[in-house]
Amino acid sequence: MVELGRVGKPEVAAFAGKKKLYCIRNVFSTPDSPEEYRDLVDRYWEEVTQQLEKLEIAGKTRKIFYESIYIQGEEALQLLDETNPPAARIVRKRMEEGAVFFPLEKEEIFGPYLDWGRCLGVVATQEVFDQVRGFYTEYENRRFEHIMQVILDNLAEGEAGLLIMRDEDRMKLQFPSEIEVFLVTPPPYDNLVRWLRERMQELNV
């Protein structure tokens, strides 16, 4: 994996002809999120946009892969506009420049995956938890297999792709050595993590 700050102009040639995947941690806020958190999220996406533009000297984004969406076309983009406007702006700009958008999910996998995950949060006995966990793990594995296949099937030699995905999910993907992975990590991300950790500590007091 390549860190953004270590990619300079003299090194760009080293990535020519290789498959490249620019990975952005997917974060978002809602209208009822605390104002402080919404400000942190806005700053995060502002710096993500700046860093991604610098990173694309290694190759313009040609394929875009986005989690949690299985619908296609304009309907998918409208959903993205509603749920994560900053990410939507990044996606739409690159589509206007010729990139192609690929939803990463498959409805018959993603739906049960979410349902079994919700069930894990409400069961009270260990026996039932173990059984539900088994079903959840089955669909989790199927989901990641599908996501990986979508990326492998659509990222061609020499192309650069953009992956927008939760960090804890991305880390479960094992990319082949033929794909050079770049992680976009602006400083505001650490502030977001710190803010969430402090809120959790307050709730546990």
* Domain covering 2-204: architecture: 3-Layer(aba) Sandwich (3.40)
pLDDT band with cut points at 50, 70 and 90 for residue 14: confident
pLDDT single digits (tens) 98-110 = 999 999 999 999 9
Side-chain half-sphere CA neighbours of 10 within 13 A: 1
Report the Cα–Cα distance between both ends of the chain, in Å, rounded.
38
Kindly report the backbone phi and psi dihedral angles of residue 64, in degrees, each rounded to the nearest multiple of 5, phi listed first. Answer: -120, 125
pLDDT per residue over 68-82, tens digit each?
999 999 999 999 999
pTM, full prediction: 0.92
Q: Map out the domains of the chain as residue ranges.
A: 2-204
